[in-house]
Structure 1
Amino acid sequence: MTAVLHQLEVPMRSRESVLIHRPARGRLGLPCWLVLPSRTAPDAVPLIAVHGIQRGAYEKASLLRERAEALGRPLIAPLFDRQTWPHYQQLVRKGRADLALLALLEELRMEGIWQTTQFDLFGHSGGAQFSHRFAMLYPHLVRRLIVGAAGWYTFPDAAEFPLGLAARQDKRDDWGPKMEAGLNRFLRLPIQVYVGEHDCKPDENTRSGPAIDRQQGPDRLTRARRWSHAVREAAEARGLRPDIDLQVLRGCTHLFSDCVARGELTDLVLPEPDAVASSETRFA
């Protein structure tokens, strides 16, 4: 690990873990913040924490750092800058944010940061949009999905992509059908959804319109409930046992820091290993 750290920049040591900024490699590479615990098992599953439209990658890493250290799990918080990745939330628009993350993870694997075949994927707000779509496209890579306070969702239904998984009539791409091809595997994932109790009013960042409001509702709280219900119904319709849970965080707003301070979010995002193992056993 010492050799790896020598290649990275801006180390900031606490009593135990290390919080490091890793610059981008190449023009379309992603920088990231890394939390490297003092003791990490070779099979420790990393957490990928994806920021929202405010680009708070450092905030995610710093507020989850103590919990990651306690569990001995590496944390990777990629940064999608506004100029290069204006629509990173939709995954496949302008430059392919999904491929950028895959490239970053491969670089970090080569540097010895993580060695497992899967990772846990977490996103808040715009990051939740990215994360659930990434998991739909690459369900084989995700061990557990944590979706927090997304502004809107891709539903497992026949609406045109990105609202649903049907191909768009006026577009050459077919990302919806590509996601649908792996839908059975996605629907078997352990999925944790959360949203603040007071995140129940649309704001300037809430996408709205007749189609999306009719499908998903007017606000993040309603949309989290409808998407969770839709995922559960889609799994049951295919004869699968859904493993999706929705937590409404009492007293919490949309802010990530508020959800951490009031909603004990760190334990929800990074639970004890026994809780994750129990879910894996039930749905193996």
Structure 2
Amino acid sequence: MPDTPVPAPGVEAKLRATYDVGKTAIYSAKVDPRFQYCLYVPPQIGPETELVVCVHGTSRTSFLDFRDGFAEFGRWNDCVILCPIFPIGPLGDGARSGYKYMQEGDIRYDRVLLGMVEEVAAKYGRAWERFALFGFSGGGHFTHRFAILHPRRLWAACIGASGSVTLLDTKRDWWVGIRNLEEVFGIAFDREGLAEVPVQMLVGDADLETWEITHRPGGTYWMEGANDAGSTRPERLRALQKSFEEAGVTVRFDLVPGVAHSRMQVIDRVQDFLACLLKKKRA
């Protein structure tokens, strides 16, 4: 039995206009209902409408900041904005960081996101083979690791203030390097595919706190080399830039003056980067 009455004629269109257009409701993902997402959907969707995915940080609250903060961008640049929600402790253990490293128990977060993209594309009658991906802090973790795994699904990757980075180092294992990438994920590293993705990396020059990002023996993600990319977020992101550029990736690096660990003080630069790419893409 349905949980709501069968709508009267014309009501279904009103429900869709209320909950599925503009700043939408929050939905459980069909691919795995432990995870949710919300959207900004412009009033009209056409063949040139693109998809931009924005991934939250550890607090998870930024999914709404990004949905609302990108709404105007989505409206005037003809983009749907998808904001996934990866809650703390989906395995019941209170773990905060599983999504940042792409796998946790039986969960493959890259596959969860791809399932969300497929679901949203079907719902709105589009086929988004490629999308733009932005994440800040914990979302920056997710974004660059997703780009390493699935570069051919992206037309842009914007990596904001990632606390730890996976370098394209074939002499070290995941997550510090990519030596055993195929063993861990069943995916071979696609250097040529990654080199085709326009990448932006951005971090505030005052984003210098290290208490949350320093790995120590006994920690869940401790491994040899965990801190070798640098002490601070700017240092680690510079190391990621160097690693990507050595692999042939073109990277725009934004060191934002006077900004600490603040997502809302960098999204204008992300939107400028994406708007320029959209203009070229649609030319």
TM-score above 0.5, yes or no: yes
Instruction: Using the TM superposition, give the Cα deviation of residue 267 of structure 1 relative to its aligned residue in structure 2, in angstroms.
Output: 2.8
Report the count of equivalent residues.
Answer: 257
Please point out which of 234, 244, 251 is paired with 2:251. 244
Q: Structure 1: which amino acid aligns with 2:111?
A: L
Instruction: Using the TM superposition, give the Cα deviation of residue 7 of structure 1 relative to its aligned residue in structure 2, in angstroms.
Output: 5.3
Aligned to 1:239: none
Cα shift readout 1:211-230 (whole Å, capped 9, x = no counterpart): 2222x100100111111011
Are 2:241 and 2:251, in contact at CA under 8 Å, matched by a contact in 1?
yes
Distance 1:34 1:113, change over 3 A: farther
The runs of 4+ residues in structure 1 deviating greater than 4 Å are 2-5, 7-11, 273-276
Q: Structure 1: which amino acid aligns with 2:256?
A: L
**1:200 and 2:200 are equivalent in the alignment:** no
Aligned to 2:48: 43
Are 1:68 and 1:270, in contact at CA under 8 Å, matched by a contact in 2?
no
**1:227 and 2:240 are equivalent in the alignment:** yes
Aligned to 1:78: 84
Aligned to 1:91: 102
Q: Structure 2: which amino acid aligns with 1:155?
A: L
Give the superposed CA RMSD. Answer: 2.7
Distance in 2 (CA, whole Å) between partners of 1:5 and 1:138 is: 37
TM-score w.r.t. length of structure 1 = 0.81
**1:166 and 2:179 are equivalent in the alignment:** yes
Please point out which of 94, 103, 116 is paired with 2:128. 116
Are 1:165 and 1:177, in contact at CA under 8 Å, matched by a contact in 2?
no
Aligned to 2:28: 24
Distance in 2 (CA, whole Å) between partners of 1:4 and 1:137 is: 39
Are 1:4 and 1:112, in contact at CA under 8 Å, matched by a contact in 2?
no
Cα shift readout 1:202-250 (whole Å, capped 9, x = no counterpart): 13x2133562222x10010011111101111122xxxxxx311111111
Q: Structure 1: which amino acid aligns with 2:196?
A: R
Are 1:44 and 1:116, in contact at CA under 8 Å, matched by a contact in 2?
no
Distance in 2 (CA, whole Å) between partners of 1:131 and 1:72 is: 22
Aligned to 1:186: 194
User: Higher helix share goes to which structure?
Assistant: 1
Aligned to 1:213: 227
Distance in 2 (CA, whole Å) between partners of 1:97 and 1:207 is: 23
Cα shift readout 1:138-183 (whole Å, capped 9, x = no counterpart): 1111111111110111111121111100129xxxx82377352x22
Larger radius of gyration: 2
